[in-house]
Structure 1
């Protein structure tokens, strides 16, 4: 009986996340002229769901589906997104371009981290803010959150 309840929770949670993802993709296609990505729409929809339906948000969190989505699936998505850029494209900017990109990302991370620490922000949250700001935003922030084991409510 308990296994059936757990399985039902997983199916319900997965269904909600799939529906939110589909809505996000469709909305992003509709709003493509404004440059709004499906990721931003998904984050906004997730925030609306979490704040408007605590019951559904808790069910999704307890099911384990959210943990899988924010760890394995997100990391896979980031790796697959990286494959869109071929080695030839990366090398076409030359070693100086690669080096300058590295310096910009690394220095903005370090500066962001130290600014956060000056303002008394927790170390884990400082890493999250700095990675989100220096790398690529929400996707980097969510991937980093699981690595530094920061609270999702931070």
Structure 2
């Protein structure tokens, strides 16, 4: 049986006025926020999908569907914790995460350490095991027009 498993997650959300902007479990000041059934934290959603995929457990929509009002406006840190419980039940633990946020604004560098600490704390790993990078799309496409935000995450799991 394979001891290491890798998963890739991606999430997209529209940006709109009048919503808080949650990224990596951190409230980031901005004039727009992500629109979604939950708090629409694209980074945590991408990480959840990567974890679930690596463990062959489907995706975030299977476990936390947007058709279920239980998850309406839910804090995505709760979803990440529940995702950890799901992979732990299959005997897996997170080794490390590499992620990329695609957004034109705001600049997230001032918030990266807090995001790393938040994610690492939930997943019981070191902050050094949580990589968060960001890029713009050079004003191209829906991200460049500040209409949306995208996150990609790769997660390595190890069988305990």
| TM above 0.5 | no
Structure with the higher fraction of residues in helix conformation: 1
TM-score between both structures, scaled by the size of structure 1: 0.28
Structure with the higher fraction of residues in strand conformation: 2
TM-score between both structures, scaled by the size of structure 2: 0.27
* Higher gyration radius (CA): 1
Relative contact order (alpha carbons < 8 A, sep ≥ 6): 1 or 2 greater?
2
